[in-house]
Every structure is written in C-alpha cells, then in structure tokens.
Copies of this chain bind each other. A is one copy, B any other.
Amino acid sequence: MRWEELDQQPCSLARALSVVGDRWTLVILRDCFLGVRRFDDFEARLGITRHILSDRLKKLLDAGVLEKRPYQERPRRDEYRLTVKGRDLYPVILSLVHWGDRYMADDRGPPIRHRHRGCGHRMRGVLVCSECGDDLHPRDVEVEESPAWEGQLMPRKRSQSQD
C-alpha cells in the first residue's frame, strides 16, 4: 500500500495517520500547542529543512488542522494557528508526551512538566471511559465492527492464548 492510499482505508487510525503520521507533523503540532506560529520560528526550533516545513504546513492547512491568519498588513504576513480540529489532537500529543516521559527520559527526568490550571496540581493526562469515568486498559475494551464493513477489519481468528 502506498502512503497516499492510507486515507481510504476503512480504519480511523489509518485515516488519522494519513494526516499526522509522518515523521515531522506531530513535532510541528507540538510547537503549535506551545504557541509557535511563524514559519521562521518553526524552522529555528525544529531544525527541519524549510522545504519539508513548507510542505507539511501546506498539508496541515489542506487538512484543516491549521489555518492562516494575518498578523499584519503591508507587508502582509500570516501566521499558522490551530483550528478546532487541530486542537482536538491534544489528547494524542499529551499521551505521547507522557509515554515519552515514562520510557524515554534520561537521568535528568522529563524536560517539561504540566500543571492543570483547574486544580493547580502537577499532573498527567489519563485516558478514561467517557461513560463511567474508569481508567481504560486495552483488555477492557471490546471492539465491534460497524455493520457497514462486515468482515474487512478484524483479524481472522487463530486459536490463541489470551496472554
């Protein structure tokens, strides 16, 4: 399968990755969440080539994850800002950050800490069930195919141990 076909797969993960699944897009978005908005600032912070940066920003605009807004006229300059669609990627970013904090930190510990303004504490993001509020673990989640894709999604069964 070629990368461009990924957004036609019957899988929301594959489709999401067709937007944010390449090597640089999520680091660009991390900077967006930190308040970076201008081309040169992205370039300076990311150490990414202008070529690739330009291409990725364009794709994020096309995908509706970022939008351009003028911050001055004459000369016209635009900055890149997260849309609502883009802001909704926050759980993805924060989950990745906490995974990195846990498994990839060196002896100096995690480089960034998060504090929740609501309660004032240092915290992590935790994934919970939208209905009952309990923590979610993979084994507690049952997946069902939507009838529209009957038979195309799930792995064929092998006799397999449950651990």
A153 to B18, CA, bound (A): 28
Q: Is A93 an interface residue (CB 8 A)?
A: yes
Q: What secondary structure prevails in chain A residues at the interface with B?
A: mixed
Contact of A133 among B45, B102, B133 (CB under 8 A): B133
B114 with A142: CB separation less than 8 A: yes
Q: Are A117 and B134 in contact (CB under 8 A)?
A: no
Answer whether residue A54 sits at the interface, using C-beta atoms and an 8 A cutoff.
no
Report which A residues bind B (CB closer than 8 A): 1, 3, 6-7, 10-23, 26-27, 30-31, 33-38, 41, 45-48, 64, 85, 87-105, 108-119, 121-134, 136-146, 148-149, 153-156, 158, 160
